[in-house]
Amino acid sequence: MAKNKSALGRGLGALLGSAVIDQPVDQSSLTNDDGASVNVTSLVSIAKIQANPFQPRRDFDPDKLQELSNSIKRSGVMTAISLRRMGEGFQLISGERRVRASIEAGLTEIPALILDIKSDREMMELSLIENIQREDLNPIEIAHSYQQLLTLYEMTQEELAESVGKDRSTVTNFIRLLKLPEQVQQSLRHNEIAMGHARALLAVPDDAGRLELWRIVVDEGLSVRRTEALARVQGSASKTPSTSRRSNDTPARKGRSDAATPKADAASAQASERLQHVLGTQVRIKGQAGGAGSIVIDYYSADDLERLIELFGVIEEHNR
């Protein structure tokens, strides 16, 4: 299927031309909708407005809606919603909270900016961009919206990132959230955990481990840093090879220096790599005769040392 690139890379300004979305309303200059004007703010009958089928937002806080409704009763709608024409009526682009609150406040008309948006793709992109710029979406809503754009329009992540004005890594990080178990996604959706917690949980290799760590995070109120530390511990433990558990006291190796055997060198290198993964810093293991040795752990600042001390505390708690 050929990719429709009509809006790719143009960003919000190109989609809207000279129009300014969510512009403040000059109440004295409002007129009733004349059925033709584009990029002009006018009063529109709420009864003519259809819901936005591409609305990325799913969660509306009832208390905040009531606060907005009370504000509208006192002062009116201070910021115009945005619409596109659909037959004899309109389809909502942005401002669903204002529409809901206006209905609750008893209004029958609402200030609206009519935009010249002709394709569903532009509509979907604009709805997503507008909500992201207003920071109205939770991370899971953003992730689902990104995934929907990728699927419906066969976009690459690079194209999507350019289209919504974000770095590709940002888009990738959001989409990866959809790999988390549903319980964890809902927890992020309802602000029980932060985006940083969710990203840390992704470092745990399986859903069972992710759910186990998520419950600890929620029950104990762990910080993102402590969650990252525990995730590294779990991830490292899952990669431990059975060969690393062999005894060093076999007859063939008694009395020999561990550092003097190729197998010991390989084991030390493997152990060093695992420790570096868990600790997030350079680690060197120095073997000595008889199986003894020393471990050197680098740190690069006072904050880095504090991080390591905290990490050792987390590991100690985890192993109790």
Band of residue 7 on the pLDDT scale cut at 50, 70, 90: very low
Q: In this model, does residue 185 exceed pLDDT 90?
A: yes
Helix (H/G/I), strand (E/B), else coil: 10: coil
The predicted model gives 159-180 an average pLDDT of 90
pTM strictly above 0.85: no
The residues pairing with 287 across neighbouring beta strands, listed in sequence order, are: 293
Alpha-carbon torsion (61, 66, 71, 73), positive or negative = positive
For residues 262 and 265, what is the distance between their CA atoms, to the nearest angstrom?
Answer: 5
The predicted model gives 121-127 an average pLDDT of 78
* pLDDT for res 187: 96
CA angle 1, 141, 5 (to 5 degrees): 25
Q: Are residues 267 and 225 in contact, defined by beta-carbon separation less than 8 angstroms? A: no
Q: In this model, does residue 258 exceed pLDDT 60?
A: no
CB atoms within 10 A of CB 294: 9
pLDDT in tens, 187-221: 999 999 999 999 999 999 899 999 999 998 999 89
Give the residue numbers annotated as catalytic, written as ranges.
96
Band of residue 320 on the pLDDT scale cut at 50, 70, 90: low
* pLDDT for res 2: 40
Q: Provide DSSP, 71-110.
A: HHHHH---B-EEEEEETTEEEEEE-HHHHHHHHHTT-SEE
